[in-house]
Amino acid sequence: MNVTFCCTDTKAEPWLAGLRMALPHAHVSEWQPGAPPADHAVVWAPPQQFLDEQTRLKGLFNIGAGVDALLKLRLPPHAKVVRLDDAGMSVQMAEYVCHAVIRHFREFDGYEADVAHSKWSYRKPRMRADFPVGVMGLGVLGERVARALRQFDFPVHGWSRSPKTIEGVVGHSGAAQLDGFLASCRVLVNLLPLTPDTRDILNHRTLSLLRPGGYVINVARGAHLVDDDLIALLDNGHLAGATLDVFRTEPLPAAHPFWTHPRITVTPHTSARTLREESIAQIAGKMLALERGEPIAGLVDPVRGY
């Protein structure tokens, strides 16, 4: 079995060493133009040349959870696109989202501002019942986030393309139930895959449906959010704030208004990072299963986009 590695902006050697250890009978190499055909590829943002040359690939293993950038390219005709199921990302995502929700709910951002001015302040405790949280996207990451939020006794709603049952979470599904889902939430967490149907889904109309004083947490893709619409709703007072980890252009340009808006918290796409050891173990296991003709989890439907 021949395995090739083609990951932009990723140090290759640790991945190559890990894959060689996990697949001792395979030939593992970093792709170079003109390289011989491989059976499987481990990729992140590969160039079109790589895909045009590697026409015999059986599996394209993406080292992140999102595959939207990969699906924009012309893919080898018979290659299965495989995303990571979790590989240590879901617990990171749950940590990040719970931190953002609690920071807003407990008004720790306000305390931080007061402390910066040597001000000793008091804020009346708020009721969790007044802060229902909605999670958009109930895949592996979204489900883990929804379950984690329930541990803090927040009312939690979930919305997904098709119905899904999670204990303690009020389920909503499909386009017909989207508006009702949004209207039930004061805090909105976006964990949707980026597809043509979900691009720009966080816009003036949809965000206006959130309860007054709403809060937005985007940890999926920057293209889900219409930047100017968010700023307009923050400035008119309908939204109280936002925590943003993903952006249309990354790194976020220095002149972008998100950096300096007083109600926006920015982090540099760090909510859930790929953990190399866990990812290699998962990828190697799936490659071997494919070679044995066994079914695997994480297969991407190119039509749906996830």
Instruction: Name the strand (E) or helix (H) holding 92.
Output: helix 89-105
Residue whose C-alpha is closest to residue 63's, from 277, 252, 223, 296: 277
In this prediction, residue 85 carries a pLDDT of: 86
Tell me the per-residue pLDDT of 92-106, one tens digit each, with 9 for 90 and over.
999 999 999 999 999
Task: Give yes or no for residue 305 having a pLDDT over 90.
Answer: no
Spot the catalytic one: 126, 221, 248, 256.
221
The pLDDT confidence band at residue 3, using thresholds 50, 70 and 90, is very high
277 C-beta neighbours (distance < 10 Å), count: 12
Which whole-number Å values give the CA distances from 112 to 22, 67, 103, 106, 115, in the listed order?
46, 37, 10, 11, 5
**What mean pLDDT is reported for the chain?**
96
Task: State whether residue 157 is helix, strand or coil.
Answer: strand
Tell me whether the CATH fold assigned to 2-87+274-291 matches the one assigned to 89-266.
yes
pLDDT, average across residues 69-80? 94
pLDDT tens digits for 188-221?
Answer: 999 999 999 999 999 999 999 999 999 999 999 9
Cα–Cα distance measured from residue 54 to residue 47, given in angstroms and rounded to the nearest whole number? 11
What percent of the chain is modeled with pLDDT above 70? 100
Summarize the confidence of residues 60-72 as an average pLDDT: 91
For residue 7 the two structure tokens come to 């990951």
**Confidence (pLDDT) at 248:** 98
Domain assignments of the chain as residue spans, ordered by start: 2-87+274-291, 89-266
Residues 111-152 pLDDT 10s = 999 999 999 999 999 999 999 999 999 999 999 999 999 999
Res. 154 pLDDT band, cuts 50 70 90:
very high
Q: What percent of the chain has pLDDT over 90?
A: 94
Token pair listed for 203: 């816009």
Q: Which two tokens stand for residue 187?
A: 């805090």
Q: Is a pLDDT exceeding 90 seen at residue 66? A: no
Which of the following is catalytic: 56, 99, 263, 269?
Answer: 269
pLDDT for residue 64: 82
Distance CA 290, CA 271 (A): 31
pLDDT single digits (tens) 213-262: 999 999 999 999 999 999 999 999 999 999 999 999 999 999 999 999 99
| 109: confidence class by pLDDT, cuts 50, 70, 90 | very high
Q: What is the dihedral of CA 121, 130, 157, 264, to 10 degrees?
A: -40
pLDDT at 303: 85
Active site annotation includes 40: no
Range 178-205 burial, b when 16+ CB lie within 10 A, else e: beebbebbbbbbbbbbbbeebbebbeee
Closest CA to 220 of 64, 74, 62: 64
Q: What is the mean pLDDT of residues 2-26?
A: 96
What pLDDT, in 10s, does the model give residues 47-64?
999 999 999 999 999 998
pLDDT value of residue 132: 98
Fold of 2-87+274-291: Rossmann fold (3.40.50)
How far is Cα 287 from Cα 271, in angstroms, rounded to an integer? 27
Q: What is the pLDDT of residue 65?
A: 77
CA 274 to chain centroid, in Å, comes to: 11
Per-residue pLDDT at 261? 98
Instruction: Tell me what the mean pLDDT of segment 170-175 comes to.
Output: 98
124-156 CB burial, b ≥16 within 10 A, e <16: eeeeeeebbbbbbbbbbbbbbbbbbbbeeebbb
Please check whether residue 192 is in contact with residue 164, taking contact to mean a CB–CB distance below 8 angstroms: no
Whether the ω angle into residue 251 lies within 30 degrees of 0, i.e. cis, is: yes
Q: Is 56 a catalytic residue?
A: no
Fold entry, domain 89-266: Rossmann fold (3.40.50)
Q: What's the confidence (pLDDT) of residue 86?
A: 85
State the pLDDT confidence band at 10, using cuts at 50, 70 and 90: very high
Q: What is the value of pTM for the model shown?
A: 0.92
Q: For residue range 216-228, what is the model confidence (pLDDT) as tens digits?
A: 999 999 999 999 9
Predicted pLDDT at 9: 86
